Amino acid sequence: MDLGLKARLMRLCTDVGSAYSLAVGELLAVDDWQGILALEVKPSSYTEASAYKADAAIEALFCKNASIDFGVDRKSVAIRKFFEAEHRCYATNVRFSNYNSDYYPDCDWRVVQFLDRVTKRIARILGRPPISIRGKFGPGATYEMQQLLGEASKSFTVADKAYAKGITSDAKYLVGHPDVADRYVDPHWPGQCEQRVTVRGNRLSCVPKNAKTDRTIGISPGVNVYLQLGMAECFGMPLLRCGIDLSLQQERHRVLAKDAVRLGLATLDESMASDLWAREAVRFLLRDSGLWYDFLDVLREKFTEVDGKWVRLEKFSAMGNGFTFPLQTVLFYAVTREVCGEGCVVSVYGDDIICPADKALDVMAALRFFGHKVNEDKSYHAGPFRESCGEDFFNGVPTRPHFLRESPSTPQDWIKLHNGLVHRASSRAHLAFAKWCKRQIPLHYRLGGPEYLGDAVLHGHPWRIRVRNGMRQVRGIANVGREVNVCHLDDQALLTALLSGAKLRYEFSHELGDPRRRTGSSYLACRSTEGFKVKWFGIC
């Protein structure tokens, strides 16, 4: 960590003056990062929102900072948790394989009735299986990117994705049927069906989560994830019938969480939620839902590549699968609603669950029956604290801090840290720290502007307006993309990218005089960000 930033953080800890902040300051002075990581801020230890928020803001500057070496192999921890989840799913699969054969050993008849009600509720929610799937490209990488782009696989274009033709054998069998291909793939991905490359499954990858562990995700083959995302769209209308709009559900959860204590609601969060939906449990829950299970089962990956070795998955689908999120929303909602009954508030967004506090223990027991593990650190059904969808509330008072995920090094990093501290400042000490952050930005980059421009401008800083062609504008910082030649991709991939809304710039040699000839011409696409520049932004 930069010595200047370290010294300012030590001063911040002294200015806050709580027992926790002073302890962090002492450990910071001797670079005892593991000691800082061992200290935890728990809402149950506080009686006032202001005291909790001040300490939580200190913790947030360290607990997810990837630039600090805490002496923890986060990738190894994540992979170990991955296999722990697989073992847990295996036990769940053994149990539910009996249930799928209508054999319920040592099972109370009331449990059997409950399971039957849940499956019927899911069938009512989902309704008829989709008659068409409109696939789409997602923001993440695909399985083939590493082989296609090598070191550049972390920065890619839509054209690169359209060129990737990986597909699992089950999905290949499905889209190989002429009627299916004509309806689900060919109209939206021209020429794709003739160029498929069979792969066995997805690839396990790790992404940063916090200072203690990474998060594992499955990087799926290109065609699979294209169709999975199309399948995810098919959950939209069934969920709307339950009052769940995935595009607005996060905001709804934040409103409910703010008033949860007053309304008698609990906020529950599952640990490794997507990794713990066992395949036999999903098969059982969708047994009355017609072809829904068949579609999902064909499009999912049944194997994952871990450090070059293939592992057969006990889970149904991993995070990274295009339909995992809406599927688990349906399953968690059905189980929670069946436990709580009608006429009460039940809201679900992925693995974030809001339900009546007096039913929380029953919901947690039901989820454990399906193999899930409630995250005790993020589930609250008693006391003054609630958390949901990235917002924390202490007796209704917002207490979510700004998390420093990487030590700042560029003007953009300092602007982002400044804005986060300004919006979520918990004390005068944190506002003073925000002003210090602003002083680290070169003068010509200290550009103020309205908050809706995000981190392109400094919030709370004066700005200058100019008028051009009747439009009011202010200056801010914008990313500069690096254009690369994508002419190595075939015509069908370029056409698909253009149809998907990708911005490709076509250049050709004027000496040749024929823009249709590939020789002497090139398609350029923005693949990655290589810097930033000052530009004018239009404002209201």
Please report the DSSP string for 252-289 in residue order.
HHHHHHHTHHHHTEEEEEEETTGGG-BHHHHHHHTTTS
**Looking at the DSSP assignment, which residues form a beta bridge with residue 478?**
533
Query: Smallest Cα–Cα separation from 117: which of 239, 238, 288, 268?
Result: 288
User: Residue length, the chain?
Assistant: 540
Query: Smallest Cα–Cα separation from 243: which of 155, 330, 373, 339?
Result: 330
Cα dihedral across residues 360, 385, 403, 66: positive or negative = negative
What pLDDT is recorded for position 400? Answer: 93
For residues 515-521, average pLDDT: 45
SS3 readout for 140-180? CCCCCHHHHHHHHHHCCCHHHHHHCCEECHHHHHHHCCHHH
pLDDT for 406 beyond 70? yes
Give the separation between CA 430 and CA 50, rounded to whole angstroms.
13
Half-sphere exposure of 296 (CA within 13 A, CB side): 29
Encoding tokens for residue 27? 């450990």
With beta carbons less than 8 A apart as the criterion, state whether 58 and 20 touch.
yes
pLDDT for 523 beyond 70? no
What pLDDT is recorded for position 230? Answer: 87
Strands 202-208 and 303-306: parallel
pLDDT for 198 beyond 90? no
Give the separation between CA 100 and CA 284, rounded to whole angstroms.
6
Encoding tokens for residue 452? 């809706």
Query: Smallest Cα–Cα separation from 297: which of 227, 208, 362, 241?
Result: 227
pLDDT mean across residues, the chain: 85
More confident call, 154 vs 412: 412
* Residues contacting 488, CB < 8 A, separation 6+: none
Which residue has tokens 């693949």?
527
**Looking at the DSSP assignment, which residues form a beta bridge with residue 219?**
203
For residues 103-121, average pLDDT: 89
More confident call, 70 vs 260: 260
For residues 105-128, average pLDDT: 91
Angle between helices 324-340 and 360-369 (to 10 degrees): 130
Per-residue pLDDT tens over the stretch 463-503? 899 998 889 999 999 887 666 555 556 566 665 655 555 55
With beta carbons less than 8 A apart as the criterion, state whether 68 and 2 touch.
no
* φ and ψ at residue 128, rounded to 5 degrees: -70, 145
What pLDDT is recorded for position 136? Answer: 78
Give the separation between CA 353 and CA 406, rounded to whole angstroms.
30
What pLDDT is recorded for position 484? Answer: 59
State the amino acid at position 236 in one-letter form: G
Query: Smallest Cα–Cα separation from 81: which of 363, 303, 273?
Result: 273
Percent of the chain with pLDDT over 70: 84
| pTM for the structure as a whole | 0.87
What pLDDT is recorded for position 516? Answer: 45
Q: Residue 276: pLDDT band by 50, 70, 90 thresholds? A: very high
Per-residue pLDDT tens over the stretch 29-51? 998 988 998 899 999 999 999 99
b/e per residue 405-441 (b: at least 16 CB within 10 A): bebbeebbbbbbbbbbbbebbbbebbebbbebbbebb
More confident call, 454 vs 531: 454
With beta carbons less than 8 A apart as the criterion, state whether 63 and 56 touch.
no
What pLDDT is recorded for position 520? Answer: 42
